[in-house]
Chains A and B, each alone.
Chain A
Amino acid sequence: DAKTTQPPSMDCAEGRAANLPCNHSTISGNEYVYWYRQIHSQGPQYIIHGLKNNETNEMASLIITEDRKSSTLILPHATLRDTAVYYCIVRPIGTGTASKLTFGTGTRLQVTL
């Protein structure tokens, strides 16, 4: 699987948009970009995934550059409950059951008043 690079930490004021970048310059054409987050002492939470088009759901938006070498997760109106470690990973199409998830170090997002 391609490796991802994320900043170790970011701050965001409550109510503002949080933009979390991820670099995946070695991504291949058959790999999806996935985002998860993990709030302290809880299980990881799936957020969103995409292949090449931008995606939006009730939690966030995912913007993938045209060359697919980087992406940005956008939390449009961050709240204190969004304070967590955010993980960007890439996974091949048709992974199958045998594929494990591998998290890197992620970005620790701190949302402040």
Chain B
Amino acid sequence: DGGITQSPKYLFRKEGQNVTLSCEQNLNHDAMYWYRQDPGQGLRLIYYSQIVNDFQKGDIAEGYSVSREKKESFPLTVTSAQKNPTAFYLCATQVRDGSTDTQYFGPGTRLTVL
């Protein structure tokens, strides 16, 4: 949303294949996040990164990997080890706003594993 791009919008892969989801931002925000959203459910945190070359596991990191080689980019790889990868994937950035932190989201990538 407003400076966060995710591509592609829809992605189809065969079971057993790794797939990489792109997330790029031009907001100059330091922190970036990956969430997963399943139908009718809330957000679940996969990974997050506070600065370049550093990232931390979220609540459901198993079967996923990330990298943060540039401030603008935080790609997510869904590996074949992820048991149920079909979901809506959301990338977000975070910025300090006064005394609080506000997160902004990209448009999402809907991954379907056949």
Do A and B pair up? The answer is: yes
**Knowing A43-B105, A43-B107, A91-B101 touch, does A97 contact B31 (C-beta < 8 A)?**
yes
**Knowing A44-B90, A45-B1, A45-B105 touch, does A98 contact B100 (C-beta < 8 A)?**
no
Interface size on B, residues (CB 8 A): 31
CB <8 Å contact, B50 and A104: no
CB under 8 Å from chain B, chain A span 74-97: 91, 93-97
Task: List the interface of chain A (C-beta within 8 A of B).
Answer: 32, 34, 41-46, 49, 51, 91, 93-105
CB <8 Å contact, B94 and A49: no
Instruction: A51 to B108: give the CA distance in the assembly, Å.
Output: 29
Residue B43 lies at the interface, judged by CB distance under 8 Å to chain A: yes
Residue B74 lies at the interface, judged by CB distance under 8 Å to chain A: no
Residue B102 lies at the interface, judged by CB distance under 8 Å to chain A: yes
Can you give 15 contacting A-B residue pairs, CB < 8 Å? A32-B100, A42-B108, A43-B105, A43-B108, A45-B1, A93-B99, A94-B100, A94-B101, A97-B94, A100-B33, A100-B35, A101-B35, A102-B42, A102-B43, A103-B42
Instruction: A103 to B88: give the CA distance in the assembly, Å.
Output: 15
Chain B residues whose C-beta falls within 8 Å of the C-beta of A51 in the assembled complex: 100
